[in-house]
Amino acid sequence: MFIETMGAMKTEISTFCKEFAEVLAPFNQALQETIEDVRSKPDSHALKHPLSGLSDVHHRMKTLVDKIEQQQAYVIIFGPLKSGKSTLMNAISSAYVSEVTSLPAYPCLVYVKHSEERKYEYTSYNGKKEVSSDGAYMQRMVRDGHQKLAERIRQVEENGEAFDPGIHYPEAIRRIDVEIPAKNLKDSLTVLVDTPGLYSKMRFGYDLMTREFRNSAACAVFIVKTDNLFLEQVFDEFNDLLGLFSRIFLVVNIDSNKRDLGPDGALRPSMESENPDRIIRAFESLAMSAPLRRAADEGRLRIYPIDLLSSAAYSLKEAELGDAAESVSPESDDEDGGESESRTAPATGIGTTEPPHEPFSEFMTDLTDYLNSNDYLVEFMSDSLRQGATLTDDIRRHCSGESLRGFVEEKTSLEEAIKREKERLAAVEKLENLEWEAAFDDLRVKNRDGAIAFSKEVSAELQNSLTDALQGWFDSDESLQELQEERLNAVLTQQEGRIMDNAIERVRSLTGEPFGGMRLDTESLRALDRLELSIEPILKSSSETVIESGKKPSSCAIHISSEKIPVRKNFWDWILFRSQSAVRRSVFGPTEDPSVRIQEGAKKKRLGEPAREALNSILETHCQKLFPDLPREYSDHLLDEYVRLFSASVREEINGIKSDLNSNLPDLEHRLDSNTEIQALLERISNLSVEVNDSIGELRERHATVVQQTPSNSDVEEEEEEEASGRESFEGDGEEGARAG
């Protein structure tokens, strides 16, 4: 695009672009690496808004770097749907690019430039790219992506949110780069940028364009059909975009073949086809808005009535003929020695052929003249510097303040969680070292004292009951075996039940006290609270288990051997020299089965008081063995089992908590380390943006003779607005961002 620039200016532009690219390209690479590093971290979800913003800056900066490195001129083409944008692109490039813009409703930008081979590259909002050489595949991909995007937009809007593709659907296509054989674009270093049609439901497409080309030194072509020229709605959107571009070319797409119906019923050429200038004058006089008129008065806006379809057809045909002519060797002559018949097209700057309508030629000449003008070069440098400064400001804004609120809250939450988990680990250690069994010592004393008191209460009763049972036996004809089983052991079995019931009831009462009868120190109680470990359910479960499944105490049954009972000999015993053992067998029966019934009178004669005293002694000895040991041992057994069950259960709970903590804490610490790394990455790229901003300022100083030339009024107003916006952005964060420009 700089082929007609003066030598000195061309040299300075080349130097400027080289120096600026050396500043921005490494920085943009560092920004990309920072975004990728941050996205790989566990808690990057807390940075979805800053990451979306940084990705947007990275994409815009890449566009700026490409423009500077290749010294490209962007021609932005926008307008309502079906206004003729694709046709104009065909006409300008002299190449068929309509396939690129066959889906104008998709809200992405399409960049078209020259290449010897066709190539399509898709860039998503998440930075992923895909390359293809198949145009049909490109169309299918965009069509499928359009359907998915529309569905996602509906979902987000149903939730009451404003759709942001960088956050809600990062897989959406943000940009399509198209490279096709287009010699005009090659020679002029021009990149055509097709934009979404105005009034598309997916409004964020124009928001993207606004960010993409603010301060980009691009000129724009706005296309509107004559049918829409007098509709205010068409220019509502256009007025919002006027301030973005240094020069705007308003192309009114006319139809030279349009016909109107005459009074006589004949079809005649319409005013649009016969005198389009009259329509333009009517528009300027009657319908032009104030912003449009102001742009026209400032020389930033010109209007061209052009039959785009005819112009594009002619341009493509001339390009085809030109290619055919170039394929013929210039040395080849015909048989008569004359030059071979070939048709070459005269060069006309950005266009390569003279179209059939003068307005298109005028449009191409004006566009070429502007892109080769000193004004454009000044704006190219000034706006590029200003855009670079704006992007570095945006980076600092996304790396600090309100943008990072969610991330800071997440990091603070992690720090608090780690502190809390470490306190819980300390509590676990405290409880692990606690002698839980010793915490029940007081309960054991109470239990034993209760058992002893019970023994004193029932032992005398038992002795009396046994004495009564013995007396009843002496008054009966029952055998010694019946004395044991039906009288004495019946009383003892009944007493055994009382021992069990008493022990169980006492354990139930004691374990029903607060903390199950435990006595814990204050630090242990705090440790339980810190772990949020409630021991009452464990205590209750342990108590219920013991009470329901407690085993019976040792049997209280008594066995009286006949050998221990003295028996008086009668006359025949003495005569026959019977031994004491033989006498006992004759009275009681065999030792192992003393089932011989003894008459009451016989008991008095043969047993008498000596036997009664022996039996009482046996019973007394048996009772002494039972009390107080049996009630105390059984009570101790129940309580020990209760303590054992509780201690095992609470230690299992503590071990489970410890296992969870040992599993969770490293993950939390890893996440905190990761967030610290994220913070360092963002601080680094933010600090680096300050350095780059300083370098931009130095670059501005080195090229002051160009960049300090007086800009247009719109540039001044726009620059002042951005500087004020930048100051407001950073005053809240306590940092000063010196803005270039």
Given a cut of 80, is residue 328 above it in pLDDT? Answer: no
The predicted model gives 162-182 an average pLDDT of 86
Alpha carbons 111 and 129: distance in angstroms, whole number? 15
The pLDDT value recorded for residue 70 is 84
- Model confidence pLDDT, tens digit, residues 506-551: 999 999 998 899 999 999 999 999 999 999 999 999 999 998 887 6
Q: What is the pTM of this model?
A: 0.66
Higher pLDDT, 363 or 101: 363
Under CATH, which number does the domain 7-324+347-398+710-731 receive? Answer: 3.40.50.300
Helix (H) or strand (E) holding 67, with range, is helix 48-69
Residue 523, helix vs strand vs coil: helix
The pLDDT value recorded for residue 641 is 93
Give the number of other CB atoms < 10 A from CB of residue 128.
10
Half-sphere exposure of 186 (CA within 13 A, CB side): 11
What is the maximal distance between C-alpha atoms in the chain? 181
Half-sphere exposure of 157 (CA within 13 A, CB side): 9
**CA end-to-end span of the chain, whole Å?**
25
- Model confidence pLDDT, tens digit, residues 140-155: 888 888 888 888 888 8
The amino acid at 431:
L
- Model confidence pLDDT, tens digit, residues 459-470: 888 888 999 999
Given a cut of 90, is residue 107 above it in pLDDT? Answer: no
Question: Quick one: pLDDT band at residue 708, thresholds 50, 70, 90?
Answer: low
Given a cut of 90, is residue 382 above it in pLDDT? Answer: no
- What is the number of residues in the chain? 741
- Model confidence pLDDT, tens digit, residues 243-289: 777 788 999 998 888 877 777 777 777 777 778 888 888 888 888 88
Cβ atoms of 123 and 132 closer than 8 Å: no
Question: Quick one: pLDDT band at residue 726, thresholds 50, 70, 90?
Answer: very low
Alpha carbons 282 and 226: distance in angstroms, whole number? 11
The pLDDT value recorded for residue 212 is 66
Instruction: Say which range, 158-162, 248-252, 591-595, 678-682, has the weakest mean pLDDT.
Output: 158-162
The predicted model gives 9-19 an average pLDDT of 82
Classify the phi-psi angles of 515: left when phi > 0, otherwise alpha if psi is within -120 to 50, otherwise beta: left
The pLDDT value recorded for residue 688 is 95
- Model confidence pLDDT, tens digit, residues 426-440: 999 999 999 999 999
The pLDDT value recorded for residue 217 is 53
Enumerate residues 6+ apart whose C-beta is below 8 A from 719. Answer: 386, 711, 741
Question: Quick one: pLDDT band at residue 733, thresholds 50, 70, 90?
Answer: very low
3-state secondary structure 154-186: HHHHHCCCCCCHHHHCCCCEEEEEEEECCHHHH
Instruction: Say which range, 284-298, 383-397, 508-522, has the weakest mean pLDDT.
Output: 284-298
Given a cut of 90, is residue 354 above it in pLDDT? Answer: no
Q: What is the mean pLDDT of the chain?
A: 82
The predicted model gives 575-593 an average pLDDT of 87
Alpha carbons 253 and 255: distance in angstroms, whole number? 7
Enumerate residues 6+ apart whose C-beta is below 8 A from 242. Answer: 248, 291, 292, 295, 300, 301, 714
Alpha carbons 482 and 465: distance in angstroms, whole number? 16
Enumerate residues 6+ apart whose C-beta is below 8 A from 741. Answer: 382, 385, 386, 389, 700, 719, 723
Q: Which two tokens stand for residue 370?
A: 């502007």
The predicted model gives 468-485 an average pLDDT of 92
Given a cut of 80, is residue 377 above it in pLDDT? Answer: yes
Given a cut of 90, is residue 376 above it in pLDDT? Answer: no
Given a cut of 90, is residue 447 above it in pLDDT? Answer: yes
Question: Quick one: pLDDT band at residue 695, thresholds 50, 70, 90?
Answer: very high
Closest CA to 31 of 676, 686, 679: 686
> Based on C-alpha coordinates, what's the Rg of the chain?
52
Alpha carbons 145 and 106: distance in angstroms, whole number? 9
Question: Quick one: pLDDT band at residue 52, thresholds 50, 70, 90?
Answer: confident
Alpha carbons 255 and 269: distance in angstroms, whole number? 10
Judging by beta carbons within 10 Å of its beta carbon (0-12, 13-18, 19+), is residue 325 exposed, middle or buried? middle
The predicted model gives 665-694 an average pLDDT of 93
- Model confidence pLDDT, tens digit, residues 641-676: 999 999 999 999 999 999 999 999 999 999 999 999
Alpha-helix residue ranges (DSSP H) falling in 251-373: 271-274, 276-282, 290-297, 308-326, 358-371
Could you tell me what percent of the chain has a pLDDT over 90? 33
Helix (H) or strand (E) holding 89, with range, is helix 85-93
Q: What are the structural domain ranges in the chain?
A: 7-324+347-398+710-731, 417-670
The predicted model gives 217-242 an average pLDDT of 79
Alpha carbons 741 and 63: distance in angstroms, whole number? 20
Cβ atoms of 92 and 352 closer than 8 Å: no
**What is the DSSP-derived secondary structure letter of residue 337?**
S
